[in-house]
Amino acid sequence: MRITRRAAVAGLSALPFAQANAQQTFPSKPLTLVVPFPAGGPADIFGRNLAQGMTGPLGQQVVVENKSGAAGVTGIDFVAKAGTDAHVMGLMSASAGAIMQSLMPKMPFDPAKDIAPLVLVVRVQEVFAVNSKLGIGDLKSFVAYAKANPGKITCGSAGTGGITHLAIELLKRETGTDLLHVPYRGAAPATNDLLAGTVDTVLLDISILLPHVRSGAIKILAVTSDTRPPLLPDVPTMRELGYPKVNSDNWYALVSPGAASAEARKKIFEAASAALKTRELIDAYAAAGGVVGGGTSDELLAFLRQEGVKWAEVVKSANVKLE
């Protein structure tokens, strides 16, 4: 087949237009949403519902990939190292996005450069709960009991350095109590030990405790949020009980690689924002104890900075160290 000089020149001149058109057709293949925690947990539930909700607006399937480790840092590091490929996204937690930078000697990625915050996906309320057999029905009684037994009351968290651990440190500081922190490898084993009476109390995401509250096995004394839990409207907030600084909502945010194009990030943001407004996703999150997020990318960036400062102060004042 003979190619004329004119045809060759025409082909070369068309390359920039073809490249531009390729950028405009993002996404050009299925996308991956990295959930940096094991399958079956609250983060996985939130991620899979978001992925399903984004599939329609993006016109491509969004596949969830679980990459757990280092309190969520491992999965977000994978996203950060995806380069310019916006087909890779991550569901970043409070631990990876605002806490671990104050605890790890060296983060594997630069949060300010290597990831691009897109939108706040969900807030998850945390609650302070006791085994019902302890016979304590309200926070005031618990604080009195803890002060009478310093260093003897155990409190389980989902792991050292995570948001549930730091929430315990906030609780100890603001109530003037000396609780013995017991870190677990996740919320499930902490809950199991609370039910067995191995630990006296826990401070965990509300979603994992709901079934046991309804069965009467545990008693929630307070929620560490500004508002009462929609699913448990009789549970008071720490603010109502006189401890406004004990505020520790967990949260998850959607992020892209920092080097992804602005056009691609815009399309992902619009798809996620559309999904977060659907009744299906709102109801699914509510059933798991989550409150749908939203807002702009700039608002999320400001929120991340605020959270980073807040938890850095707690890490320093409580002298928290990774084990």
Q: What is the 3-state secondary structure (H, E, C) of the chain?
A: CCCCHHHHHHHHHHHHHHHHHHHHCCCCCCEEEEECCCCCCHHHHHHHHHHHHHHHHHCCCEEEEECCCHHHHHHHHHHHCCCCCCCEEEEEEHHHHHHHHHCCCCCCCCCCCCEEEEEEEEEECEEEEEEHHHCCCCHHHHHHHHHHCCCCCEEEECCCCCHHHHHHHHHHHHHCCCCEEEECCCHHHHHHHHHHCCCCEEEEEHHHHHHHHHHCCEEEEEECCCCCCCCCCCCCECCCCCCCCCCCCEEEEEEEECCCCHHHHHHHHHHHHHHHCCHHHHHHHHHCCEEEEECCHHHHHHHHHHHHHHHHHHHHHHCCCCC
| Cα 256 to Cα 264: distance, rounded to the nearest angstrom | 9
pLDDT digits (tens, 9 = 90+) for 269-290: 999 999 999 999 999 999 888 9
Q: Supply 137's token pair.
A: 């029905």
Q: What is the pLDDT of residue 4?
A: 54
The region of weakest confidence among 4-8, 18-22, 198-202, 222-226 is 18-22
pLDDT exceeds 60 at position 10: no
Q: pTM to 2 decimals?
A: 0.84
Q: How far apart are CA 76 and CA 92, in angstroms?
A: 6
> What is the model's pLDDT at position 9?
46
Domain(s) labelled CATH 3.40.190.10 in the chain stretch across 126-223
**What residue ranges of the chain are covered by domains with CATH 3.40.190.150?**
30-124+249-318
Average pLDDT over the chain, rounded to an integer: 90
pLDDT higher than 50, residue 166: yes
Q: Is residue 235 pLDDT above 60, yes or no?
A: yes
Please, which pLDDT band fits residue 180 given cuts at 50, 70 and 90? very high
Q: Which tens digits make up the pLDDT trace of 25-74?
A: 899 999 999 999 888 888 899 999 999 999 999 999 999 999 988 888 99
One-letter identity of residue 24: Q
Q: For 207-212, what is the mean pLDDT?
A: 88
pLDDT of residue 21: 44
Task: Confirm or reject CATH 3.60.10.10 for domain 126-223, answering yes or no.
Answer: no
Location of structure tokens 């807002």: 295
Question: What is the C-alpha separation between 282 and 276, in angstroms, rounded?
Answer: 7
Domain 30-124+249-318 sits in CATH 3.40.50.620: no
93 neighbors 36 (Cβ within 8 angstroms): yes
- Distance between CA atoms of residues 72 and 159, nearest Å: 12
